[in-house]
Structure 1
Amino acid sequence: MDEDVIEWLLAGDPAVAWQARRDLLGEPAEVVAAERARVTRDGLAAQMLELQGDDGYWGGLTYGPRRERDSVMWTLHVLLRFGVDPEAPEVRAAIARVRDGVVWTEPDGGRAFFEGAEEECVNGGVLSYASYFGALDVAGDELVDRLLMQRLPDGGWNCEPIAESTRSSFDTTLCVLEGLRAYQRATGTHDAALATAILTGEEYLLDRGLFLRASTGEVANPRYTSFAFPMYWFYDALRALDHFRLSADRPGGGAPDDRLAPALELLRSQRLPDGRWPAGPQRPTLRGWFVEAPEGAPSRWNTLRALRVLRWAEGA
């Protein structure tokens, strides 16, 4: 790792800096904790938390129209990816307001936010948030059971109705896997059905090299080769690699599977001459803010994520 690149990461938002200190530098726990505390005090996350309404909503929306990110669903996504401390008083208060006030609108029946909606990809995200922010008591077990029942014969998931597609999608499968792994990690469960579902979902992605068609070996979707932050429900190969990095702590985890090689080669190929990675398409967050550099410019988020994946994959 280039020292200039590390210094550049540390000079970014505290959300980037604290994760770089933990995942790239391996600094002492007290140093990492001090940097992490700045996330909800000095960083963009602090501004996001301040914009929550007393009713628990951001932007007055639970999920929002397809392209609208000024909502509870996607603000929690960003806060999780920022790694805000779930025990920080500001965060605990924000989650309490969500628990008490936010509900899903039709067609999802007015359920409380942490009870989840109908679509698998949405519920994968909700399960991730409930696991991270300590809200699994609302409906965590029920969400897991629902997702296990919705698994398709090929091992993954798809938000499209069965009448329209019986094949899994990369996007939905990864969203669900992230939620199931977060639940498994938060609860410490060794449930066999859950472990099997995670395994088959991961096999679905691994058998496709994380971004290739199983039938032809061609790129399944050009978007999967372009890395953007925040990810929201969108799939890309770097997001998938990060999932496998985080999954290495489970029984049977550890060294990277050989089938990750195409995705790792794709990741290395996008490294810029100065040791950074470029930004993908910009995606707005709360109030239309961008947390990412313009497309093609050096990206702190992609650089952080790429370096820690390669550090794991190369056994550093």
Structure 2
Amino acid sequence: MVTPALIAWLRDSDPALRWQVERDLMCEPPEVWEATRARIATEGFGARLLAFQDPDGQWAGGAYFPGGFDFHGPEAAEDAGQPWTATTWTLNSLREWGLDSAVLRERRTAELLAENSRWEYENLPYWGGEVDCCINAVTVSNGLWLGADITGIVDWFLEHRLPDGGWNCEWVEGSTRSSFHSTLNSLKGLLAYDVATGGTDATRAARHGGEEYLLQRGLFRRLSTGEPVAPWVDGFAYPFRWFYNVLNAAEYFRQASLLDGATPDPRMADAIELIRGARQPDGTWLQARRHPGRVWFEVDVPAGEPSKWLTLFGTRVLAWWDSHTP
């Protein structure tokens, strides 16, 4: 399915995507994809986002929401989504795209955020995290990337893991059952910590326990009935943001396997077939939807069109699975 035409289509893209195609699908030598990756800071999506940074180190004047966001206005309505322009979401994009952190370290971004950015929840300091698992997870990943001290947030994850093995952002509302969304995002933060530092016995145990929560459910089923947990499990949309789907989860397990030296768990087989089944005859994956909410600019296609980002993820996941599975 990975035809020359598909590779040419994928490679004709922004440097943030192109370098990953060169590294992971074309197996180019490091000097090729590293040169493409270096261009993120000076052209395309990455350069555009960097240009929006505020003098105080933030984006859009806020930590998770833009400064002055009206939490009671039309933009806060449930069907309006949420704005994706503030600091946390912008840092996520730049990091996930592969921007060299030296660019933001030279701007003293971590220090400026420590001085100037506070969470909308109880005005807590930025690098101290807050009470939401998904927010804390990306703050761990972004802090490691920028050289901030996020040790306290890592400890928070160890303390707030639920008895069934995962996490739920609604624990503050009394929830004692883990969430697919919250667990996957929490795992991403812990994986970033283990990759960057080697981890500890406690972080590795928590991560593997959270992975087991998802694997017991085949990445998309209810443990009680075996039925799909929700329609969104195979609704693939890029950017992933905080939303769960089996492609997002499978990409996490692919990355974790690189660290752990593990082969794919056979309990993922049905989820992998959902991913494979969504592949079009030409080898592409279609964008299911755009998550509503304010953005700096669009980085992928409208719903129903072939997505280069999703095609990269889908092709990469299937290549990983198929290389280890008879």
TM-score range, shorter chain: over 0.9
Structure 1 runs of 4+ aligned residues shifted over 6 Å read none
Q: Answer whether contact 2:138 2:189 (CA < 8 A) is retained.
A: yes
For residue 232 of structure 1, what is the amino acid of its counterpart?
Answer: R
For residue 168 of structure 1, what is the amino acid of its counterpart?
Answer: S
- Name structure 2 gaps, 5 residues minimum: 66-75
The yes-or-no answer on 1:126 pairing with 2:134 is: no
The yes-or-no answer on 1:298 pairing with 2:306 is: yes
Deviates more, 1:259-268 or 1:155-164: 155-164
The yes-or-no answer on 1:243 pairing with 2:252 is: yes
Q: Answer whether contact 1:48 1:286 (CA < 8 A) is retained.
A: no
For residue 322 of structure 2, what is the amino acid of its counterpart?
Answer: E
Q: Which residue of 1 aligns with 2:117?
A: 102
- TM-score normalised to the size of structure 2? 0.90
Q: Answer whether contact 2:124 2:130 (CA < 8 A) is retained.
A: no
Q: Answer whether contact 1:74 1:285 (CA < 8 A) is retained.
A: no
Give the Cα separation in 2 of the matches to 1:157 and 1:306: 26
Number of aligned positions between the proteins: 308
Q: Answer whether contact 1:209 1:262 (CA < 8 A) is retained.
A: yes
> Residue 257 and residue 106 in structure 1: after superposition, are their counterparts in 2 closer, same or farther (change >3 A)?
closer
Q: Which residue of 1 aligns with 2:160?
A: 150
For residue 146 of structure 1, what is the amino acid of its counterpart?
Answer: W
Give the Cα separation in 1 of the matches to 2:105 and 2:232: 33
In the TM superposition, residue 313 of structure 1 has moved relative to its aligned partner by 0.8
1:301 partner SS: helix
Per-residue CA shift, 1:197-242, capped at 9, x if unaligned? 1111000000111111111111111112111111121111111001
In the TM superposition, residue 192 of structure 1 has moved relative to its aligned partner by 1.4
Per-residue CA shift, 1:32-68, capped at 9, x if unaligned? 1110011111111101101111011211121116611
Work out which of the residue numbers 160, 178, 198 in structure 2 matches 1:188: 198
> Residue 290 and residue 310 in structure 1: after superposition, are their counterparts in 2 closer, same or farther (change >3 A)?
same
> Residue 62 and residue 300 in structure 1: after superposition, are their counterparts in 2 closer, same or farther (change >3 A)?
same
2:301 partner SS: coil
Give the Cα separation in 2 of the matches to 1:307 and 1:212: 23
Report sequence identity in percent: 41
For residue 184 of structure 1, what is the amino acid of its counterpart?
Answer: D
> Residue 133 and residue 4 in structure 1: after superposition, are their counterparts in 2 closer, same or farther (change >3 A)?
farther
> Residue 3 and residue 133 in structure 1: after superposition, are their counterparts in 2 closer, same or farther (change >3 A)?
farther
For residue 300 of structure 2, what is the amino acid of its counterpart?
Answer: E
For residue 7 of structure 1, what is the amino acid of its counterpart?
Answer: A
Per-residue CA shift, 1:117-141, capped at 9, x if unaligned? 1111210111111123332xx2x22
Give the Cα separation in 1 of the matches to 2:108 and 2:292: 21
Q: Which residue of 2 aligns with 1:68?
A: 83
Q: Which residue of 1 aligns with 2:185?
A: 175
For residue 44 of structure 1, what is the amino acid of its counterpart?
Answer: F
Give the Cα separation in 2 of the matches to 1:213 and 1:257: 18
Q: Answer whether contact 1:40 1:84 (CA < 8 A) is retained.
A: yes
RMSD over aligned CA atoms reads 1.8
> Residue 315 and residue 25 in structure 1: after superposition, are their counterparts in 2 closer, same or farther (change >3 A)?
same
Q: Answer whether contact 1:69 1:284 (CA < 8 A) is retained.
A: no
> Residue 55 and residue 154 in structure 1: after superposition, are their counterparts in 2 closer, same or farther (change >3 A)?
same
Give the Cα separation in 2 of the matches to 1:297 and 1:235: 20
